[in-house]
Structure 1
């Protein structure tokens, strides 16, 4: 019955009129490239793209070369082996977004790592690795031509290139080994430059190298750099055997053969090649690095340690690198031969255990003594670098602690008051006033005691809403001899709660007094200004909000804090009739911030109200704010303090004190390399 349509669809003349058959991305089959094929995975939801490919390949007409291709067939083979069809059920509960990275050309799956099971995470990453290998196969097919048409590909050739990709990951090791000869673009942060060959220099160079690596499997890593001993320890994720090909095309046999039994050996060989590449990158950070230890974690950075290798600089550069440069390290015969690769690496020490089937088994990492202790800030009594003490108004590392728990019993008492406050606001006020009085008396006694012990260093009480506020004291205190006593977290919470309760009771004067007390104790914390802003909003004192918000922006440093202040400032300008300033402030609230949706809605209403007065394309919102005296947070002097403290603390072997600053700088610059440095400073190996 349907032969008529089949004949019509297969009529060459009809195809010629239509310009050839079309694929999902709109490219004609005759002109479709491997890049077009890869683009289809990001053009639609990933489960649809995968199922669409599998369906198209399954329905391909063997006699019609335009209905599929070797590249498509191999993609379908790998995706089926990776159990890709199961992604749809996972994506229903855990949305998965696929992106293509501009830096490496590889794919990156975005999902909520905190809510997904290990099994589902593994499935997503298996699929991601398939797409990455296809991207690398595509690059190999393109060669010098720059374009590879899928019609010219065979499934067998794609299989051979896949194995070539897997065994060649260390081929760029020499480029990483010689990186110390090149400038470090991240060594200087906001006017402060790290010591060449120091911890900051080593850390940023190594992270930059790892982020630049083009690998067929996702690389998760952490490291510890110790310039003092010339040692770098790196922990890296290793792909598990089940992500390697189950089958491969044998040109000699002219058919596909099962290689399931070789997967553990292939995984072990890949692990050694990856370790060599990481070692090259680590030695390439500085000529002062003489020892590198690479620990391999199974499946992810949180997995069991299954490999620990110690490299010495000279054996590696003279021995292992010779094998890599000659091509012996990536020879086809070594694809599943980790024993031969072990011999080529000239390792100083090894910790590995391989079972009868070739699987790497858990082992203890090699013991390494470093001069970089990961001591919690609250417990670290080492003296701070001399030139940081005045700027940070602190003498030892633990002086910077503002996050450790203080009085658990008092905290429980405060929470009980807040849970029952609605029963009697007056009783809650009295109880909270008691907490304020008690904590104030304790803090004052501590100040007196410290002043008596160190009369040359006057004491002040300081509350910090977040860890960053503790580093910014030089912005509000010019006397470098001043030292700070940490205020009670519960005492500050009680003041803030009192301000809100007084506001609810209609006593705005009392609310304002408590809000100002919060600011006085926390002058470097932008959130401390929020109660006063809200208090003025209750009384419609928008001019006063503008003044307070400007002060808050001078110390605002985190993205959310900055966005919140600009949001409140925008509305205040709107209510005082200064519409261009209001619009300029709304434009500084990112849509992804907690206030982003509300800010966008209000901004649209503002634009509607402005009508013909909406600024033209030549309007500069930044210049508008500068003219209005609105700080453009984060301010340069704030980030100069952050940059100086970050680099000097890192170079002084104080990673946990430096870590939050690295996270802040990374977020401010949206820099993945700095995020990796921050994670390593925070977590070590």
Structure 2
């Protein structure tokens, strides 16, 4: 275990530093608060730091003694045998000095066993890589034969436990360093056995062929190279295939770094499959592993069943529907066993029988730097060899994806596959194939050996020269109307389409317009048309021409708000008060009414904490609307506001069965009510604030901002029981992670205030699980509540608490959600902090250090009649609406629902379906 002592000492040293910091904090708290508890904490930290420091020093002394005694060969062999008996599974027992020495000579001693990945072909700059496919190839190919590896004197026995290595990589903050330790151990033993480092007599175990292969492919992939700076990487594992994946955590990634990451990931995948394939890892040779890797790449099509065997449907899916086809394709893609990362996008148009894939082909630089050649053995792969292999792999991948599309539905008649390579400077297409179902059914997917013969019937748009794909013109695109019809993205409010019977039942409306949420959609469309015809301000008679343009587009519109907006804009143009910038003119047309201006002004004043000014601006406008009865419900009509398409569909399912027509209230009306309520709370007028909050919930019963503001106002008025009842109903209907997280966070304050600390802990843990960003606030809040002298959270914590209750910053821009949530810039003041003192004052405090299990959380919540959100009913309703909106091809609504599913679970299949919906094509 000597090689682990240095890392252990570093860990112990870090622990000493942490304990010292804790001791200092304890001393300061003890002096400032006069707390005996903090004094005891400080003393304990000091004692622990001293003990850990002594242990680290002892460990360091032991390491020095072991290094000084390393010259005694007999003692070294005995120590090695002892370490072999004690080493955990999957860990290597090379000494630190040997591992360091092996890493230092990675370019010299192991050149024969593991050729460097800094081959001139691999280290080409971005420009050279971009033009790789256009370089003329020599007429003859020189093959460099790798010298045969010497027969090890020590017995070969594999010490590689790939599962253990995978777990360590997933848990490591720096998985590449962890991987270097594993490879370094193998290379150390290779150097000893092969007589390249020290004496062969020192070797106790010879690395097996799989271990040598593991080290070789990773060295060739550039694991130890420093010519390219690698990004921050996290190792994850596919839940479907078990394959390790390298997730880049940096926002930007250079092209050469991307190639390095892809090659390292492919090397890990090759090693993983070799470890899983060979029943006797001791007998497998390096050549066997390379033959296996090449065989798998040449037989990827064999994993697909014939296209007349459809993919499985899930419960509730409509056969041959858009949702079922997209979900089936995404599931099949994520379940493919491939040697290289698959990066693709797809679109479906089931009604027309079309599916298209656009695939980022694997660059030739990612393919192995060594290959096995029959009759010769292992050789360093040349650029031409890699390009041929990459070209063949691209064609087989196209066939495999087409088979996946055809198996998703019998209605799919054509599957296009577009293969492209994007490097640092260029975008190039290398194949574009229209596979038709009739000809494709004749292919034997288990034996796709003759690629030329397999592809010829489909007349592919590709150019193959000497087995290498050359760039061609791209003749298909994801956004074409045959794959993504533009009407799918038409504004919901302006659609005249009727929904199919099944979709209408799931979405609670007979027409697509019944899912609308944008009251200003008509004005926005008209404004866009006007902007296309406006004359420049410097042109002759510009004002007269622009007035005529505005009147032409607005005076005969059936929407009265459009006519009013046009008249208002014309008056400002004539008087010279209208803006001259085209975008400002469009904004004036859409949001230039007095209510919108008042709401915008109120928001600005609240952001400056001028509550009195906000009230002075907002209250007169709201009073006028109340007196005139604007937006008041009547016998045959109701006015409602919705922040998202999900809210609208769920409202339809729950409330819209009374037969009354629903009209959309302006966003500015909702915003004005919200800002007025917040301002009244700041001015300590809780009853006035409560009046506005009740109107908010009447206007938007499913909106989280409205309901949480009502809870806050009820607390301010002292109606704690009613506030808790409202919050309980809110959790029962909550359908997205942010709403659920905020609901549990607020419920925790009620439980704590009542002395139900276990329930409070369950709520806090639930809030954190659904909304991790709230964790620092919860930690500080609980820490403050557990101090007897503290009766409310400090002002900075209260600021964070309000920010946590305002998810607009996190949710803005999400598909189907309005990005102008009214509380995005509302002033921050404590929501729960002001009422969380009584348990501490009563002394009913216990440390909340032991986390509850999920079963304990659910049992605790149920005992206190707190819903476990999302409830099964809500989850089922959301899933039904998701499928219905995708099948009905109402994509603005569908994107919003799929986005909610992805927020709960970042499953690759859900993300692929989300990506397949695309965005509105450019017109």
> Which bracket does the TM-score occupy, shorter chain normalised?
0.7 to 0.9
From 660, 665, 678, the equivalent of 2:901 is 665
Distance 1:115 1:652 in 2: 37
Q: Indicate whether 1:308 and 2:439 are aligned.
A: no
For residues 539-558 of structure 1, what are the structure 2 equivalents within 5 Å?
541-558=719-736
Q: In the alignment, is the contact (CA less than 8 A) between 1:569 and 1:582 conserved in 2? A: yes
The 3-state SS of whatever aligns with 1:589 is helix
1:430 aligns with: 616
Q: Deviations over 1:144-172 (max 9, x none)?
A: x2x524xx443333322222222222121
For residues 50-199 of structure 1, what are the structure 2 equivalents within 5 Å?
50-53=179-182, 55-56=184-185, 59=188, 60-61=191-192, 62-63=194-195, 66=205, 68-85=207-224, 95-112=232-249, 114-117=251-254, 119-140=256-277, 142=278, 145=279, 148-149=281-282, 152-174=283-305, 177=307, 179-180=309-310, 183-184=312-313, 186=314, 188=315, 193-199=316-322
From 476, 483, 495, the equivalent of 1:381 is 495
Q: CA deviation at 1:546?
A: 0.6
2:868 aligns with: 632
From 230, 238, 253, the equivalent of 2:353 is 230
Distance 2:223 2:457 in 1: 38
2:332 aligns with: 209
From 242, 246, 249, the equivalent of 2:365 is 242
Distance 1:207 1:83 in 2: 32
Q: In the alignment, is the contact (CA less than 8 A) between 1:34 and 1:148 conserved in 2? A: no
The 3-state SS of whatever aligns with 1:646 is helix
Q: CA deviation at 1:11?
A: 5.8
Q: In the alignment, is the contact (CA less than 8 A) between 2:228 and 2:256 conserved in 1? A: no
Q: Deviations over 1:627-681 (max 9, x none)?
A: 5443332234433432333223322333443232233235446643233223212
2:517 aligns with: 402
Distance 2:334 2:894 in 1: 21
Q: Deviations over 1:214-257 (max 9, x none)?
A: 11222233333333233322333321111112332445334523
2:84 aligns with: 19
Q: CA deviation at 1:77?
A: 3.8
Distance 1:679 1:443 in 2: 44
Change (3 A) 1:413 1:114: farther
2:673 aligns with: 495
Q: Which runs of 5+ in 2 are unaligned?
A: 1-66, 94-155, 525-585, 787-838
From 767, 774, 779, the equivalent of 1:595 is 774
Distance 2:321 2:257 in 1: 40
Q: CA deviation at 1:522?
A: 0.9
1:575 aligns with: 753
Q: In the alignment, is the contact (CA less than 8 A) between 2:70 and 2:76 conserved in 1? A: no
From 406, 418, 422, the equivalent of 1:295 is 418
Distance 1:669 1:345 in 2: 39
- RMSD, aligned α-carbons: 4.2
Distance 1:67 1:48 in 2: 23
Q: CA deviation at 1:413?
A: 7.3
1:32 aligns with: 159
Q: In the alignment, is the contact (CA less than 8 A) between 1:53 and 1:72 conserved in 2? A: no
Change (3 A) 1:596 1:439: farther
Question: Is the deviation greater in 607-616 or in 47-56?
Answer: 607-616
Q: In the alignment, is the contact (CA less than 8 A) between 1:526 and 1:555 conserved in 2? A: no
Change (3 A) 1:255 1:123: closer
Q: Which structure is richer in relative contact order (CA contacts within 8 A, separation 6 or more)?
A: 1
Distance 2:222 2:597 in 1: 50
From 444, 447, 451, the equivalent of 1:341 is 451
Q: CA deviation at 1:562?
A: 0.6
Q: Which runs of 5+ in 1 are unaligned?
A: 331-339, 452-456
1:418 aligns with: 603
Change (3 A) 1:377 1:646: farther
Q: CA deviation at 1:313?
A: 1.4
For residues 454-473 of structure 1, what are the structure 2 equivalents within 5 Å?
458-473=636-651
Change (3 A) 1:423 1:673: closer
Q: Indicate whether 1:267 and 2:453 are aligned.
A: no
Change (3 A) 1:43 1:576: closer
From 319, 338, 350, the equivalent of 2:460 is 350
Question: Is the deviation greater in 637-646 or in 281-290?
Answer: 637-646
Change (3 A) 1:471 1:580: same
Q: Indicate whether 1:218 and 2:361 are aligned.
A: no
Q: In the alignment, is the contact (CA less than 8 A) between 2:744 and 2:766 conserved in 1? A: yes
Q: CA deviation at 1:299?
A: 5.8
Q: Deviations over 1:312-367 (max 9, x none)?
A: 1121121x2x2x32x3x25xxxxxxxxx5143135535233568994553632437
1:363 aligns with: 473
Q: Indicate whether 1:516 and 2:694 are aligned.
A: yes
Q: In the alignment, is the contact (CA less than 8 A) between 1:381 and 1:398 conserved in 2? A: yes
